[in-house]
């Protein structure tokens, strides 16, 4: 699995703590395995008491911040370890008693030795509660670009879908 997909799995399992409308049904820690392209990964999410995803990130000063994702258009921007600028925008969020889905756009821009690199992702994450199980589907549409000194850009678009079943952790 390439570095972008590893980063995506880390991002989802560490940075986003998804939720649903009924905090009683979704509150707590859920863990399990998600699979994509024949590979499986441990995945864990926590739901907030109020039923909103908690977004967590660490900036280049090693300060960790957390905030609730509540409204489409909400923007998070910071300088990550290693430099560059990381931006996330919540495009949409929908919740009902047994389902929650959100779309989050990610953009990273960096420069090294005169070359600009830009990585764009659109993550669509869906959670469906089925009895004691939480079914998860994670879609990722990615575009990576690298510029040369003449301004030419080369890209490598990709798409992936990971699915899994989570159980409430004890």
Domain ranges of the chain: 3-168
Tens-binned pLDDT, residue by residue, of the chain (170 aa): 444 554 555 455 544 544 333 446 877 788 999 999 999 999 988 778 877 777 889 999 999 998 888 899 999 999 999 999 999 999 999 988 889 999 999 999 998 887 888 899 999 999 999 999 999 999 999 987 766 656 666 677 889 999 999 999 86
Residue reference for tokens 């008693």: 97
Residue reference for tokens 């859920």: 30
Residue 12 DSSP code: I
All residues at 6 or more sequence positions from 161 whose CB lies less than 8 Å from its CB, including other chains: 36, 137, 138, 139, 140
Please give the model's pTM, rounded to 2 decimal places.
0.78
Q: Tell me the pairing of strands 99-112 and 39-47.
A: unpaired
Phi, psi angles (nearest 5°) of residue 165: -125, 130
Residue 7 DSSP code: H
Residue 8 in 3-state DSSP?
A: helix
Tokens encoding 114? 């005169």
The answer to whether 89 and 74 are in contact (CB under 8 A) is yes
Tokens encoding 128? 């469906």
Alpha helix (H) residue ranges in the chain: 3-10, 23-26
């Amino acid at each position: 699995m390439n570095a972008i997909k590893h980063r995506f799995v880390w991002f989802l399992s560490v940075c986003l703590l998804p939720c649903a409308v009924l905090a009683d049904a979704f509150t707590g820690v859920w863990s399990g395995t998600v699979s994509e392209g024949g590979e499986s990964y441990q995945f864990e999410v926590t739901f907030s008491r109020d039923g909103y995803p908690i977004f967590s990130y660490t900036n280049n000063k090693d300060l960790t911040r957390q905030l609730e994702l509540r409204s489409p258009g909400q923007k998070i921007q910071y300088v990550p370890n290693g430099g560059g600028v990381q931006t996330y925008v919540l495009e949409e969020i929908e919740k009902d008693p047994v389902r929650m889905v959100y779309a989050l756009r990610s953009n990273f821009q960096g420069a090294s030795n005169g070359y600009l690199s830009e990585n764009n992702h659109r993550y669509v994450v869906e959670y469906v509660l089925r009895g004691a199980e939480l079914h998860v589907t994670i879609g990722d549409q990615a575009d990576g670009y690298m510029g040369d000194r003449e301004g030419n850009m080369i890209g490598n678009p990709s798409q992936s879908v990971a699915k899994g079943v989570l159980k409430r952790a004890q």
